[in-house]
Amino acid sequence: MTQQKLQSKDSVNTDAILVINCGSSSIKFCLIKPATGETLLSGLAECLLSPEAKITIKRDGEKQSYKLPDAFDHQTALSVLVEQLQQLNLVKDISAIGHRVVHGGEHYSQPTLITTEVEQSISQLAKLAPLHNPAHLIGIKACQEAFENLPQVAVFDTAFHQSIPEKAYIYGLPYSLYKDHAIRRYGFHGTSHYFVAKQAAKQLKKPLAQCNLISAHLGNGCSVTVIKNGESVDTSMGMTPGEGVMMGTRCGDIDAGIIFHLVDNLGYSIADVNKLLNKESGLLGVSGLSNDCRTLENAMLEDNHVQATLALTVFCYRIAKSIASYSASLTQLDGLIFTGGIGENSSWIRAEIVKQLGLLNFSLDEEKNQATRFGASGNIATKSSRACLVIATNEEWVIAEQSAQLLTNLAK
Ligand code: ADP
């Protein structure tokens, strides 16, 4: 699909966008109306490339799972999805496929129509995101076959952070590593931070371009972003999603000297270190129990589990410290946003973080904090505090909206 192939503005149908988030063994999908965010259908194909491969499709509150036929691959999963969409008479409503792509490097600060050149550059960027970009390309290829007449759009997780200034993206390393090898901070979760900032602007009744916010996306992966006049100006994740605050299984910032110590004195290989820092650390590593916040909160509150308590305490302190550090990027601050599975649901974690932010004039209304969970949103701060907003993120809606907008612009 090239830009030239798009037709006149009137003929661009943006009724619904199929949003695809393709991992190495999974595809998350969601058919969504860009104008309203209404989800017509969603689901997950998981355990791909294994005999356990299955696809679950949710529609109108009902869930159906199908074991995938032989091949168990991304293509098979998409063909089952297409079949279901056909049976439900939904294929005619799809105007484009919007792909979440984790790494867009410095090339992409905007959603982009996928052409052969764009695929090549997503592939070249795989050296910065070896786990994600190759998987996205598999999804793109499979969608091109399954939906050959539809435009495919890439929406990059790094794009929102392309506005961060040099002082925030340059590491204290020899400058040639940036110039010659693109080693710099990129940041991730950009689509989520952008969505919640836009929602916060609505709640604060101000244009986004006048909003100064700190956004904490706390899920399995966690990142904190500072938004000045509606644009990201710094973020905690770096060249990879490993940097910044502590997460479910990732350690976040550590002294780089620990890596040499592990390799030189404790017999770790580089592959072992990679696994340790990304899969065995964070909440899981410190607690020795789980990466799941609910399990840890239960263990702490019900069993007085010492390591679960420590893991959650370290987690909250490091997030509070990261939030406070961003006062260096702002001269004004409208409020703090909590989002992601933990940010949207855990009143204990929100309280523990905010109680360490008194110097920034944040304090929580305990009742509102307890009540704002499970999809509820709102300001949980006391009257005298700056705003503390809980906002449910919706990255799929942003991807659908931006894909539809791009197609409309290209057809003008
Ligand atoms: P991902 O980054 O994989 O999208 P999510 O945003 O879904 O992750 O967040 C997953 C995290 O949210 C898990 O640690 C989970 O324990 C936590 N979580 C979900 N619901 C609750 C809850 N009610 N209380 C505390 N934590 C919760």
Q: 157-180: per-residue pLDDT in tens?
A: 999 999 999 999 999 999 999 999
Q: Which of 102, 193, 342 to mutate to test the pocket of ligand 1 (most atoms within 8 A of CB)?
A: 342
Q: Is residue 182 part of a domain?
A: no
Residue 341 belongs to what domain range?
Answer: 205-395
Q: Is residue 166 part of a domain?
A: no
394 Cα: distance to centroid of ligand 1 (angstroms): 14
**Could you tell me the CATH number of the domain that includes residue 290?**
3.30.420.40
Q: Is residue 244 part of a domain?
A: yes
Rg from Cα positions in the chain: 22
Task: Tell me: do 132 and 222 sit in the same domain.
Answer: no
| Number of compact structural domains in the chain | 2
Of 156, 178, 213, which one is at a domain's C-terminal end?
A: 156
Q: Is residue 192 part of a domain?
A: no
Task: Tell me: do 258 and 320 sit in the same domain.
Answer: yes
5 Cα: distance to centroid of ligand 1 (angstroms): 42
Residue 283 alpha carbon, nearest atom of ligand 1:
14
Task: Tell me: do 230 and 371 sit in the same domain.
Answer: yes
Q: What does DSSP say about strands 335-339 and 387-390: parallel, antiparallel, or unpaired?
A: parallel
Task: Tell me: do 212 and 326 sit in the same domain.
Answer: yes
340 Cα: distance to centroid of ligand 1 (angstroms): 7
Residue 373 alpha carbon, nearest atom of ligand 1:
23
Of 156, 179, 194, which one is at a domain's C-terminal end?
A: 156
Residue owning the nearest CA to atom 19 of ligand 1: 341
For 105-143, write each residue's pLDDT tens digit.
Answer: 999 999 999 999 999 999 999 998 888 999 999 999 999
Task: Tell me: do 97 and 210 sit in the same domain.
Answer: no
pLDDT at 15 over 60: yes
pLDDT at 263 over 50: yes
User: Residues lining ligand 1, CB < 6 A?
Assistant: 219-221, 248, 292-294, 297, 340-342, 345-346
Catalytic residue numbers?
A: 157
Task: Tell me: do 249 and 382 sit in the same domain.
Answer: yes
Residue 221 alpha carbon, nearest atom of ligand 1:
2
203 Cα: distance to centroid of ligand 1 (angstroms): 24
Q: Which two tokens stand for residue 213?
A: 């916010």
Report the predicted TM-score, pTM, of the whole model to 2 decimal places: 0.94
Task: Tell me: do 140 and 256 sit in the same domain.
Answer: no
What are the phi and psi torsion angles at 24 (to 5°)?
-65, -30
The 3 state secondary structure assigned to 49-70 is CCCCCEEEEEECCEEEEEECCC
- CA 30 to each of CA 45, 70, 362, 373, 399: distance values in angstroms, whole numbers, following the listed order: 11, 24, 36, 23, 10
For 225-242, write each residue's pLDDT tens digit.
Answer: 999 999 999 999 999 999
Residue owning the nearest CA to atom 7 of ligand 1: 341
Task: Tell me: do 119 and 241 sit in the same domain.
Answer: no
